[in-house]
Structure 1
Amino acid sequence: MKFLVDLHTHTLSSGHAYSTFDENAKFAKENGIELLGISDHAPTMPGGAHLYHFTNAKVIPQEVYGMKVLRGVELNIIDYNGTVDLADSIIKSLDYSIASLHPPCINFADIKSVTYAVLEAMQNPLVNIIGHPGDQRYPQDLYELARMSKMTNTLLEVNNASLDASCLRVGVRESLIELLHYCNDFDMPIIANTDAHICYEVGNFEKTISFLEEIQFPKELILNLYPDKVLEFLELKK
């Protein structure tokens, strides 16, 4: 498999990433990416991008090096009501958003509370993707996530960085096996992203591809193989 889409990438503006947008774009092109998204951390993340970073995203070209570029954000879910940390008006000015749980922004909690928060975020019409689900430090009802994914056209992410042995997230592989089983049952596509924090990682899906092939997840449900379908899903949520 050759993935053509990577929507979860970070630049220097995220505070704990190490490359510029142009450096990321060059490596994305080298790795065969056709649809590249920039999704720096929203302001609640320590060191995250200022809100002006997102209001000024219009300066980012819609095409670089022959690739289509989308301007996005990785939002933080900041409470157990599913609240995210940018104003609706700013999110609406972007092409897409990812919503994620991060320990600096929200404390760990029980499965009922975490599941409720994520389901509420998925029902937000401005949230397109749930970032790195499956971290068992934030236990979730994975069946309900898959069901809500189908109901709201919110994509669930297979996060390449989460599959790395050095990642601090816990139990992701086991959780993803269960989650993707439910997605398959619901005939609901998923999206894979690198969550790159340095240019060398952009478009490098080695761990994800190996994992998806191992569990024999259907290719027709992997949107990274179909850039046009990714754009269709982002429009569906709107």
Structure 2
Amino acid sequence: MIRQRFVIDTSALTDTQTRELEGAGTLCIAMGGILDIIAEARLNLGISCYIPFPSVYNEMRDFARNNGCDEETLAKIDTWLVKKTPDRFEVKIPSKIFYDYVDFMRGRINKGMGVAEEAIWESATECLFLTTKAISKQQIEPEIEREVIGEIIGKFRDKYRNALRYGILDSAPDIDVLLLAKELDAAVVASDMGIQKWAEQLGLRFVNARSFPAMIKEYLKRTKPGNTGKLE
């Protein structure tokens, strides 16, 4: 039997809906419970769950610490998740996928800039209306509106582009999850819709974080007592 491999995103252990389905009261209990399932699957079925190192590994440990998880939970992360740095030089991704990704991100960034510009324009117009003798917003001099608000928006665009547009590739941990899964020919486990979309684009198997624990439990149920990892 071919051993299954999964690449775990932080959301695979922290998803709120997964916690509810598993009946875990707190985040730490939920993380510990899922890691226990992963441990059983590794020992009994030879299923390996990888985590990109150091990006997702650090993100997950920081998340656990910030939510008050104890050292036992952190030890489970270190023990049962296989840490591996994705080979960013050798993993080949079709140029069309990369092009679509960049185009998608550029569109989202421009859309965000448009929403922000609209908010600036509305708030500035409101301020001008309140500080002038105009009876309505339509009576505000167009020249004043253009010179005052237009200049502010122009400066905003420059700062926005410098802060967001140039060099952005969204989340490094998310990209590492996809690269490592591609390298290992493994399934991706996450609750992030963005990861799901690009996993599908790359032809990777995607497992929603909500169904992952139940799926592993089903594997374990079908395991013969005292076996060496073979499924019925």
Question: Does TM, normalized by the shorter one, top 0.5?
Answer: no
Greater C-alpha radius of gyration: 2
More helix by share: 2
Higher relative contact order (CA 8 A, sep 6+): 2
TM-score of the pair, normalised by structure 2: 0.31
More strand by share: 1
